[in-house]
Amino acid sequence: MGVGLKVLVIGSGGREHALVWKLNQSPKVDRIFCAPGNAGISEIAECISIKADDIDSLLNFARYERIDLTVVGPEVPLTLGIVDTFKKEDLRIFGPEASGAQLEGSKVFSKDIMRKYGLPSAEYKTFTSYLHAQEYVRLKGAPLVIKADGLAAGKGVIVAESVEEATSALKLIMKEKAFGSAGDRVIVEQCLKGEEASFMVLTDGKTVVPFASSQDHKTIFDNDTGPNTGGMGAYSPAPIITKALEKEIMEVVIKPLINGLKREGINYRGVIYAGLMICDGKAYVLEFNCRFGDPETQPVLMRLESDLFDILRAAADGKLNDVKAAWTDDASVCVVLASEGYPGKYEKGRPIKGLDSFKSSKDLVVFHAGTGIKNSETVATGGRVLGVTALGKDIRTAKKRAYTAIDKIKFDGMQYRKDIADKAINRLEKQDS
């Protein structure tokens, strides 16, 4: 029997389903609530119809239910200061305060911190004037990366291969306000060429616990083509992050960042997610996020052998030194099934078939993202709908298991990439030959 502890997870995506799924395995946890949750989460937790950014209602709920630990999934409530609010009321919550969440909430703040504390990153310039930015683009020439300063649900970064594309991106962000006030400031950045990887760590401001490496697939179509999305799949471990490179990332990226934040008066407790570009064996920071990645969390947590509740509680309490994170040697692959039209407009309410056949599988979990219940049927309600996540003795086996499962799932207009984890498989084959 558990010791009767209650956990509240905030959010409604695949990442939150993975967090709930893993927390549910802890013998210490008795009840899990999720606000607002989704159809898959509702099978293992009590879903509460409170939005993730409704901080007052979440606070009242946590007080009323005497929640022992609140875990914040998405970035918006973190940037709005949910952690500050809960801490004032002596409620234990996992995540950085608003001052630390600026790492993701403002790309300008993040780049300025990188520059100030000597983290390896692309050169950049910040603009509030469309005309000045346009002029700079013409002087610099392409390729360039154009970034909206604020939160844009993972879609505010545009890689421009030509000056025309860069100018169009500036127009979209600054004049047409495609991402609202997130585009009041933009960053124009040197375009780094290499291979992307995701590196997540947990910290309590003193101790750092690295999570297993992973790699995300950002664009909608195979071979990394088409517009950026929130992520179309991920795998773990990422063979590009060798033991030596992991050590280097810790020394030249993570530790200087945490020390730099401390010097700025920010005691950061929570996840630091470094989006990295690996160029000629060296890591450069593309961006920082202040929460677990989605879809990287799904394959990473499939590989976690330790009690997630213990780790998150220790981080929230500033006692991360007391816990260790252990990982299985198995690999994991997550393939995202998305709605037709995503990352643009898509229809909601299409029924999903074939989910029942995976309920008892140990090596395969279908994590729900944009799902709901309509007339007692599971339906697609979001752009990213499901994350089919498999474990296997190696990446090739995990990939095969995930795609075999996908053949059994159907909803109208279902789209997904067929090449998730191919990069890793090719890299491993080269190493072996």
* pLDDT tens digits, 191-202: 999 988 889 999
| 284, 196 contact by CB (below 8 A) | no
Contact 246, 208 (CB under 8 A): no
Going by pLDDT thresholds of 50, 70 and 90, the confidence category of residue 162 is: very high
Could you report the per-residue pLDDT of 301-316, keeping only the tens digit for each? 999 999 999 999 999 9
pLDDT on residue 154: 67
Query: Whose CA is closest to 84, among 297, 270, 272?
Result: 270
Length of the chain, please? 433
- The structural domains of the chain, ordered by start, are 5-95 (3.40.50.20), 129-184 (3.30.1490.20), 195-432 (3.30.470.20)
Specify the amino acid at residue 76.
V
The contacts of residue 87 (CB under 8 Å, 6+ apart) are 93, 97
What percent of the chain stands above pLDDT 70? 99
Average pLDDT score over the chain: 94
Whether the predicted pLDDT of 2 surpasses 50: no
Rounded to an integer, what distance in angstroms lies between the CA atom of residue 128 and that of residue 134? 11
With a cut of 90, say whether residue 296 has pLDDT above it.
yes
Residues 274, 224: Cα–Cα separation, whole Å: 20
pLDDT score of 356 more than 90: no
CA 146/CA 40 separation, integer angstroms: 36
The sign one gets for the Cα dihedral 132, 138, 140, 143 is positive
Cβ-based burial of 282 (10 A; exposed 0-12, middle 13-18, buried ≥19):
middle
Residue percentage of the chain with pLDDT more than 90: 90
pLDDT over 50 at 428, yes or no: yes
Mean pLDDT calculated for residue range 356-385: 92
Whether 149 shows a pLDDT value over 60: the answer reads yes
Confidence of residue 427 (pLDDT cuts 50, 70, 90): confident
Phi, psi (degrees; rounded to nearest 5) at 75:
-80, -30
Q: Model pTM greater than 0.85?
A: yes
Tell whether the model's pLDDT for residue 8 goes beyond 60: yes
What would the mean pLDDT of 9-17 be, rounded to a whole number?
98
Q: Is 224 helix (H, G, I), strand (E, B) or coil?
A: helix
